[in-house]
Amino acid sequence: MLLVPYAVERPPRRVPFITYGLVALNVLVFVGSVWVANSHLPNDKRLVEQDKQRLLTWVLQQTRQNANAPPSLEQIREVVDEQLYRHFDYGMIWRLEHERDEYVLEPHYTTVLTYAFIPNRPTWWGLALTHIFLHASLLHLLGNMLFLWLFGRALEDALGWWLFGLSYLVSGLAAAILQLIMIRAFSPETGVLPMLGASGAVSGVMGLFALRFYRTRIHVFYLIAFIFWRWGTFTIPSAWGIGLWVLQDVIGGVWDLLSPERYGGVAHWAHIGGFGLGLLYGLLIQFQAEGKSEYALADAEKALSQGQYQQAAQCAAQYLARHPHDGDAHLVRARSLVACGDSQGALPHFAQALTALLHAGRLREAGAVCMEADRLSLSLTLEPNLQFTLANRLAGAGEFAAAARAFRAFALAYPDEPRAAWALVKAAQILQERLNQPEEAQRLFALARERYPHNRWTQEM
């Protein structure tokens, strides 16, 4: 069965530059390493004959055969599968594997031996950094970058760019350290195999994602090709989906310890190390509580849409306890309180929502809030400068009905403000010229002349 996640229901709210940058860097490193491998390929082929002679001599020794009684294919396969990496250097094996290739899509062995992490002879750069950006094949690269793209964007949005980048690198380091510990403790003979790839770092990202966005659903493509073919998609909460993925690695890691002669291919303990570091860091910064409060807003919006107004108000209040300046949450609480009959209690939340929307540049939504408050007969007015700014921006954005309402509210709420006469005149002009409401416009013109008879704006009418 093939399972491939392809989407998460949590789009980023800002451009995730670090995630995109990491993906681009991994791709560039892979392209560069493939170019180096192909440039060395002709010279490697000249060394293959010597490699083959060494291999044949070794196989004869291991199978206790001689040239007159060559070993069977089964004997050769058994010896090669179980002992080859323990007795020959990685470079020789790489050359033999690519003897007949005209081109390769993987790093050259010199690149791997220099920059990958090799437990039996680790370097500080391979352990801490460079192994994270090397990949053994195109499929290896695509798999890791898919997971980084899926889970990294929302996580960078939640953590911030520099904490996200640091968490990624430290998770890669933790992955290599745990892999080193497990190999030296349980299967030191496999320490000659290089470890490379971003999967340990990406596992840390997944650990943080599972803690922070535990209810966010992952969309997964599946393919069953056993007795019959079947494919399709399904969704699963991230905590369950990522949890099953970790369980698979735990089983694989235990199997590696029990059968070290079959070790190779997937560094399960590196995945577990990266995931564990991400999970531990998330717990230390109370990431789950932040996720819980975010889901409280989603619950509030759902309850409001279903007419469960008391529950909506409670969930919105829970969210606002951690995010007191969130305009959407204030709007949900305001509407819930209005539905519960507490219009006066809703008024400050309408004002907070309007302020947040104005600061975020969401003028159309700000205008809709103004009109909504007007329909509810609520006297919604911000402090003078903010109210005046709101009215001007709404007019500039073409939200004329809301702009007229905002200018009028400013003039009526702050009659002694020097800009009050101009605001009344401007509201009247919008009503007359833009909204075709001459009677209401004349009423405001008259009010302006009555209140401010000596003001230049009323004299020019």
Q: Is the pLDDT of residue 76 over 60?
A: no
Using one digit for the tens of pLDDT, what is the confidence trace for 260-296?
665 556 889 999 999 999 999 999 999 998 888 889 9
Question: What is the tens place of the pLDDT at every residue in 28-73?
Answer: 999 999 999 999 999 888 887 777 777 767 666 666 654 455 655 5
Is the entire prediction scored with pTM above 0.85?
no
DSSP 167-180: HHHHHHHHHHHHHH
Query: Where along the chain do its domains lie?
Result: 2-214+241-285, 291-380, 382-461
> In this structure, are strands 2-8 and 229-237 parallel, antiparallel, or unpaired?
unpaired
Fold of 291-380: 1.25.40
In this predicted model, which residue has the larger pLDDT, 47 or 227?
47
Interval 346-389: pLDDT, tens: 999 999 999 999 888 888 898 889 889 888 888 888 999 999 99
Strand order in the sheet with 2-8: 2-8, 217-225, 229-237
Tokens of 166: 């640091």
What DSSP element (H or E) covers 30? Answer: helix 17-63
Q: Please tell me if the domain spanning 291-380 has the same topology as the one spanning 382-461.
A: yes
- What pLDDT does residue 236 have? 95
- What SS3 state is found at 228? coil
Residue 63, pLDDT score: 64
Our CA angle for 195, 200, 203, nearest 5°, is 155
What pLDDT sits at residue 379? 84
DSSP conformation letters of 104-132: -SS--HHHHHHHSB-TTS--HHHHHTGGG
pLDDT higher than 60, residue 315: yes
CB 327 within 8 A of CB 353: yes
The H-or-E segment that residue 46 falls in is helix 17-63
pLDDT digits (tens, 9 = 90+) for 167-192: 999 999 999 999 999 989 888 877 88
Q: Which CATH class is domain 382-461?
A: mainly alpha
Q: What is the pLDDT of residues 97-118, one digit of tens each?
A: 888 889 999 999 999 999 999 9
